[in-house]
Chain A
Amino acid sequence: MRDIKAQEITKTVSRLFQEANFCLASDVMASLKQAREAEESPVGREVLDRILENAEISAREKIPLCQDTGTAVVLLELGQEVHITGGDLYTAVNEGVRQGYDEGYLRKSMVRQPYSARANTKDNTPAIIYTDIVPGDKLKISAIPKGGGAENMARLAMLRPSQGRQGVIDFVVNAVDEAGSNPCPPVIVGVGIGGTVEKTVMLAKRALLRKVGEPNPDAEVAELEKEILQRVNCLGIGPMGYGGRITALAVHAEVFPAHIASLPVAVNLQCHSARHKEAIL
Chain B
Amino acid sequence: MVKKVMLPLTDETLESLKAGDNILLTGTMYAGRDTAHKRMVEALEQGKTLPFDIKGQAIYFMGPSPARPGQPIGSAGPTTSGRMDSYSPRLIAEGLKGMIGKGMRSQEVKDAMQKYKAVYLAAIGGAGALISKTIKKSEVIAYEELGAEAIRRLEVEDFPVMVVNDIYGGDLYQEGKARYRVD
A residues sitting closer than 8 Å to B (CB atoms) are 40-41, 43, 46-47, 50-51, 53-54, 57-58, 61-69, 105-109, 118, 120, 122, 147-149, 152, 180-182, 184, 234-238, 240-245, 271-273
Contact = CB atoms under 8 A, between A and B. Distances in A.
A241 B129 contact: no
16 contacts: A43-B22, A50-B130, A57-B133, A62-B68, A64-B128, A65-B75, A105-B68, A107-B74, A107-B148, A109-B148, A180-B177, A182-B80, A182-B104, A235-B181, A236-B182, A272-B126
Contacts of A108: 147-148
Given A64-B74, A66-B128, A107-B148, A41 B65 contact: no
Interface residues of B, number: 46
Contacts of A273: 126
Interface of B: 20, 22, 35, 62-68, 74-77, 79-80, 82, 102-104, 122, 124-130, 132-133, 146-148, 160, 162, 172-173, 175-183
Contacts of B146: 120
A106 B64 CA distance: 9
Contact of B129 (A40, A65, A148, A244): A65
A106 B65 contact: yes
A165 B28 CA distance: 52
A63 B74 contact: yes
B177 A54 contact: no
A181 B173 contact: yes
A142 to B, nearest CB: 20
Given A50-B130, A63-B128, A65-B75, 13 more contacts: A43-B22, A54-B128, A57-B129, A58-B129, A63-B129, A67-B75, A69-B75, A105-B68, A149-B80, A149-B102, A180-B177, A238-B177, A242-B162
A243 B75 contact: no
B63 A67 contact: yes
A43 B176 CA distance: 10
A43 B2 CA distance: 11
B75 A64 contact: yes
B178 A240 contact: no
Contacts of B132: 63
Given A64-B65, A64-B75, A243 B180 contact: yes
B126 A65 contact: yes
Nearest to A238: B180
B79 A54 contact: no
Q: Which residue, B62, B75, B183, has most C-beta atoms of chain A within 10 A?
A: B75
A103 to B, nearest CB: 11
A53 B74 contact: no
Contacts of B76: 67
Contacts of B62: 67
A130 B177 CA distance: 38
A43 B133 CA distance: 21
B176 A241 contact: yes
A53 B104 contact: no
Nearest to A39: B180
A141 to B, nearest CB: 23
A237 B75 CA distance: 26
Given A105-B65, A152-B80, A244 B180 contact: yes
Contact of B75 (A63, A242, A245): A63
A214 to B, nearest CB: 22
